[in-house]
A and B are shown apart, each in its own frame.
Chain A
Amino acid sequence: MTEEIIIAGFGGQGVLSMGKILAYSGAMQDKEVSWMPSYGPEMRGGTANVSVIISDERISSPIISQFDTAIILNQQSLDKFEHSVKPGGVLLYDPNGITKPPTRKDINIYKVAATEKSAELGMAKVFNMIVLGAFLKVKPVVTEEFIEKGLFKSLPERHHKLIPENLKAVQTGKELVETVHTI
C-alpha cells in the first residue's frame, strides 16, 4: 500500500498540521511516511499545501506531482490540483467558497461541509480534524487507534487535554462526508 496525498487550502486552515497528524499516525502504525510542505513566503490567508505519503515500503521520492488523493479546501487549490489526481483516485473537498466544483469523470469525488459544521458546533479550531475524519472514512489508511497515538505524539503536552475534542471531530467528519461522484 502506498497512498500519495496532497492537502491544499488557505494558510491558517490547519493544512500543515493535518498533514503532520496524518504522518505521525502513519509512523505510529509502523508505516513509512513523508511530509513535504510547500514552504514559501506563505502567510495567513495565502495558500498552503503539503504532500504526505504513507506507505508499507520505503518511500522513493517525497516530492510528487500526481496524487492518489487530493484534499482541497479552497477554489485556488481546486483549480491547481484537480488535474493532478491520478485516474481512479480520490478528490475530497469542502464546498465552502467553491464556485466552480470539480468536473472530472475519471476520479471519485467526495465532499465534506467541514467549515459549515465546525462553525455550527462552535469548533472552528478542529475544522481540519473534521476533514481528516472525512478522508479516513473514504480511505482508511490509518486506524483510529493510531490517530489518537499520532495526536499524542504530534501535539505539545499542554494541548493533550484537547485530544478528545479532536477525536470527536474526526468522528463528525466520518459521518458528514458525502459522495458526489464515483466511477
Chain B
Amino acid sequence: MAKELKLMKGNEAIAEAAIRSGCDGYFGYPITPQSEVMEYLMLEKPWEKTGMVVLQAESETSSINMVYGGAGAGKKVMTSSSSPGISLMQEGLTYLAGAELPCLVVNVVRGGPGLGTIQPSQADYFQATKGGGHGDYQLYVLAPASVQEMYDFVFDAWDIAFKYRNPVMILSDGAIGQVMEKLYVGDYVPRWTNEQIHKNAPWATFGKLVSRDHNIITSLELDSAKQELHNQKLQAKYREMEKNEVRFEEINCEDAEYIFVAYGSSARIAQKAIQLGREKGLKVGLLRPITLFPFPTVRLAELSKKVKGMLSVEMSAGQMVMDIRLAAGNNCRVEHYGRFGGMIPTPHEVLEAMESKIINA
C-alpha cells in the first residue's frame, strides 16, 4: 500500500481517515476542541470525491439519530463531538447498542462537569466504559495516543463495529485532537456498494428481498422473556470482545518494578516520565490500554504479581484506577494521580507522584 506523509492535527486525521476508509456519512455539530473534524470534511468536500455525505445537524441529539438511521441501512456512518455534546447523545447511544447498530462516535474530551472548559480532560472514562446511557450495554472503546492512531483507529472501528454489530467509540482528548504530528496515510478504501452491504450487513433495512423475511431494527421488546434473551445475546457478544479484542501496549515493562497505567495523552506524558525515571535509575514502565472496553484486565492481573506497585495517571479525579484495582486485587499497591478541569500534568509531576505515592510510600 502506498504511504503518503502528511502533517496533521488529530482531529483532521479523524476526518481524513473517514474519507479514506469508505465512510458513507458524517453527521455532527461543532464544539471545541473537536470542530476541526467537520471543518476539515467541509473543506475537503468528500461528496464530490467518494459520495460521502457530510451534514451539520441542528444539534448533537439530531446527529446521533441520523447515525441511527444511516446505520440501520447498513451504511458506515459516524459522528464526533466533545464531552457536553456526547452527553446529549447518550440516549441515541443506548438505542444504537440495543438495536445492535454498527457506527463510530468520536469523543474529543474536554474538562467538565457541565460546560466545564475547552481544555483536555479524560474525565469521560466512566461515561464511555460503564454505560453513559441506560440499560446493560457496552461500547467498544478505543483510546488513541497519537495522530497516527486517530487515523488508524477509524479503520479499526469499522471492522469491529460490523463484526459485532456494535457502536464503537474513539475516546480521545483535546490534546490529541489539537496536536499536529506526522501521519502516514494509505490508499482510499471505496465505499461499499449495495451488493457489499447486502453481503456484509444482511440484517440491514435496505429494502426487502423476496428471499427473506422483513428485517426489523428496533431496541423495543415488550415481552420481558424475549428482552432477557436479547440481553443475554448482548452480554455474550461483550464476553467475546473481552476474549478476542483486548488491545494494549507495554513500554519498558520487562524489568519494571513499578508501572504507570495510562491511556491517550496521559500515556505520552507517562512515557516522558519513564525517560526521566530511568535516568535516575528507577525501574519504571508503562502499560497503555488501547481498548478501554474491553479492558486489559488479564494482563494487569499478571503484572500485578510481578511488580511492586502501579500508578494510574489520568486527567480525571480517578476513574480507570477502579478497573486497575479490580484487576490487581491485593497483589500490589495501586494508586491514582490526576489533574482535572482541563489541567495537564507535567512528566516531572507524574514521576514525583510515582515516587511519593508508590515507591517511597
Using a CB–CB distance below 8 Å, which chain A residues touch chain B?
20, 23-24, 27, 32-37, 39-41, 59-66, 153-154
Chain A residues, CB < 8 A from B7: 23-24, 27, 33, 35, 153-154
Cα–Cα distance between A39 and B9 once the two chains are bound (Å): 12
Closest B residue by C-beta to A41 = B118
Which residue in B178, B269, B271, B346 is a CB contact (below 8 Å) of A39? Answer: B178
Contact of B33 among A23, A39, A59 (CB under 8 A): A39
Known A39-B33, A39-B174, A61-B347; contact A34-B271, beta-carbon cutoff 8 A = no
Contact A61 B180 (CB under 8 A): no
Q: Inter-chain contact count A-B, CB under 8 Å? A: 64
The 3 closest A-B pairs by CB, nearest first: A60-B271, A61-B272, A35-B180
Interface residues of B (CB under 8 A from A): 5, 7, 32-33, 118-119, 174-175, 178-182, 265, 268-269, 271-272, 274-275, 344, 346-348
B59: min CB distance to chain A, Å: 22
In the complex, 21 of the A-B residue pairs with CB atoms within 8 angstroms, ordered by the A residue number, are A20-B180, A23-B7, A27-B7, A32-B182, A33-B182, A35-B7, A35-B179, A35-B181, A36-B175, A36-B178, A36-B180, A37-B178, A39-B33, A40-B118, A41-B118, A60-B347, A63-B175, A63-B344, A64-B272, A64-B347, A153-B7
Q: Which residues of B sit under 8 angstroms from A33, Cβ to Cβ?
A: 7, 181-182
Q: Which of B118, B182, B268 sits near A60, CB closer than 8 Å?
A: B268
Q: Kindly name the residue among B175, B179, B265 whose own CB sees the greatest number of chain A CB atoms within 10 A.
A: B179
- The reply to whether B275 and A60 contact each other, CB–CB distance below 8 Å, is yes
Residue among B118, B265, B272 facing the most chain A CB atoms (10 A cut-off):
B272
Q: A27-B5, A40-B119 are in contact. Are A63 and B181 (CB under 8 A)?
A: no
Bound complex: CA of A101 vs CA of B181, how far in Å? 34
Q: Are B344 and A34 in contact (CB under 8 A)?
A: no
Chain A residues within 8 Å of B274, by CB? 60
Pick the contact of B179 from A20, A34, A66, A154 — CB < 8 Å? A34
Distance from B175 Cβ to chain A, minimum over Cβ atoms (Å): 6
Q: What distance in Å separates the Cβ of B153 from its nearest Cβ neighbour in chain A?
A: 18
Q: Is the CB of A62 within 8 A of B347?
A: no
* A20, B179: Cα distance in complex, Å: 11
Q: Which residues of A contact B265 (CB under 8 A)?
A: 61-63
Please name all residues of chain A whose beta carbon is closer than 8 Å to the beta carbon of B174 when the two chains form the complex.
39
Complex interface: chain B residues within 8 A of A39 (CB): 32-33, 118, 174, 178
Known: A35-B179, A64-B347, A66-B348. 16 other contacts (CB 8 A): A20-B180, A32-B182, A33-B7, A36-B178, A37-B178, A39-B174, A41-B118, A59-B181, A61-B265, A61-B268, A61-B269, A62-B179, A62-B181, A63-B344, A64-B346, A65-B347
Are A63 and B182 touching (Cβ within 8 A)? no
With a CB–CB cut-off of 8 A, which chain B residues contact A34?
A: 179-181
- Contact residues in A for B5 (Cβ distance below 8 Å): 27
Do A63 and B180 touch (CB < 8 A)?
no
> Which residue of A is nearest B275, CB measured?
A60
In the complex, how many angstroms separate the beta carbon of A130 from the nearest chain B beta carbon?
Answer: 23
